[in-house]
Amino acid sequence: MKDANSPHAAHEHQRDSFGSSFGVLVALAGSAVGLGNLWRFPYLVGENGGAAFILIYLGFVLLVGVPIMMSEFIIGRRSQANARGAFKKLAPGSLWFVSGTLAVLCCLLILSFYSVVGGWGIEYLFKAFRFDFTRGGDSAGLSTLFSDFASSTWRPLVCHTVFLLLSGLIVILGVKNGIEKFSKVMMPVLFLIIIVIAIRSLTLPGAGAGIDYLFHPDWSKVTANTYLAALGQAFFSLSLGSGMVITYGSYVSKKENITAISAKTAAADTLFALIAGCAIMPAVFAFGISPGEGPGLVFITLPHIFSQLPLGGFIAILFFVALLLAALTSSISLLEVIAAFCIEEFKMKRFWAVVLTLFVLWVLGCLCSLSQGVLADWKIFGRNFFDLFDFLSANVLMLLGGLVAVVFVGWKLGRTVIHDELTNSGTLKIPVWLLDTLLFLIRFLAPAAIAVIAIFQWV
């Protein structure tokens, strides 16, 4: 019987894989960069002391986020298997695989409501191409426009369906020919679009107030909640605990540097969030609008700004293209987790695995979409389908997945396996102090941080 922990363990079939280091980086960064980067991070920065929050956030990314990501990376690459199969290979005969099963369920729940929001992005991109936002209309009118659309029956369902089909078409093509090729093109395009919008936003009269809102360190605003918000943002922004890093890690060559890829992914995610803040907040302040709009910032506040901005119609098109790309790069990673599970655990062809997954997601997504309207009164534990799926995935399953990953790597696999993976079986050099520090973070600090988030989320 072959040792499942051996990096040279034989595999029953030839798996797809990433073709280059850049492909790995842009795919992982694409998963991390999502809709939350475009509104939640800038809002949190401004409300919690500006640069003070950024420094705290960066600290948590380094001390908590990167170690958890590296743990999941080790599980994926060591096993060369899907989120469930990884634990079965590395700990045969145990119940660790239950965590992998829950990770697949987590992705299913996330993508069910995420595809609905992605569909909203498609609708607003269509409106942008019709230059609807340059025809006037105050914020109240745009708020009514959004609520009427989101609560309607058929149009959101059509957009939800289109978004799922776009995601499915990419994943059906495979890891190298689908996800990697798409990410290599679209991630640079996404960054370029956000940079262009940021430049335009920074040239507006009064934009300086937005920059001051984002980057002025105001330590008087830092409270215990600031640390909790920064810790939670570091965890969720990097898509930890969902099985995505495990799945993508399983497609990564033994020659790739796990430490470097994890650090670069975290840096790319943070950089995008900061650029997005520079694209959005200066414009918000330039037009005297409150920055604390949450998701409404994207679908209500910004369209109002576009209506008043010179060349606002074209900026609106660029922004909603960026929004759609950010949503797609995240959705394909979630979809791949489920597809890989079906392919390897049930021996399905990729095409049928994706088709089956899309059907299930479409049904669940319809419930989420309709819960904004005709099914609004259908509630479980006081939450409609949209809010319930959001709560279960973010507040329960992702936290549990991240906790299991660090405990499994830190205590089950242990120092020898961690050293072997980080050094690529001895071909890379790693200082002893760095290994000791990382082992401490994985075994003690990361689990404690996840416990703190869980306590404040659940209590």
Residue-range domain boundaries for the chain: 23-458
Given a contact cutoff of 8 angstroms between Cβ atoms, the answer to whether 334 and 103 are in contact is: no
Task: Give bridge partners of residue 380 from the DSSP assignment.
Answer: 383
Q: What pLDDT does residue 8 have? A: 43
Integer angstrom CA distances of residue 349 from 4, 155, 207: 25, 32, 52
Q: Write the single-letter amino acid at 333.
A: S
Q: How confident is the model at residue 137 (pLDDT cuts 50, 70, 90)?
A: low
- Angle at which helix 398-407 crosses helix 446-458, to 10 degrees, equals 160
Rounded Cα gap, residues 168 and 173, in angstroms: 9
Residue 23 has pLDDT above 90, yes or no: yes
Average pLDDT over every residue of 307-333:
92
Rounded Cα gap, residues 272 and 238, in angstroms: 12
Residue 62 has pLDDT above 90, yes or no: yes
Residue 3 has pLDDT above 50, yes or no: no
Residue 257 token pair:
């540097």
DSSP helix/strand/coil, 174: coil
Residue 10 has pLDDT above 60, yes or no: no
Phi first, then psi: what are they for 147, rounded to 5°?
Answer: -65, -35
Q: Which of 162, 109, 37 is nearest to 390 (CA)?
A: 109
Residue 6 has pLDDT above 70, yes or no: no
Most confident by average pLDDT, 37-41, 47-51, 122-126: 122-126
Of the options 1.10.10, 1.20.1740, 1.10.287, 1.10.1790, the CATH number for the domain spanning 23-458: 1.20.1740
Q: Which residues contact 1 (CB under 8 A, 6 or more apart)?
A: none
Residue 249 token pair:
């890690």
Predicted model pTM: 0.92
Given a contact cutoff of 8 angstroms between Cβ atoms, the answer to whether 447 and 403 are in contact is: yes
Q: What pLDDT does residue 5 have? A: 46
Counting residues of the chain whose pLDDT is more than 90, the rounded percentage is 74
Integer angstrom CA distances of residue 29 from 69, 273, 432: 12, 12, 29
Residue 136 token pair:
């006037």
Q: What pLDDT does residue 458 have? A: 76
Q: How confident is the model at residue 348 (pLDDT cuts 50, 70, 90)?
A: very high
Q: What pLDDT does residue 139 have? A: 65
Average pLDDT over every residue of 413-436:
94
Q: E strands within 56-169?
A: none
- Burial of residue 15 (number of CB atoms within 10 Å: 0-12, 13-18, 19+): middle
Average pLDDT over every residue of 284-310:
79
Average pLDDT over every residue of 390-408:
95
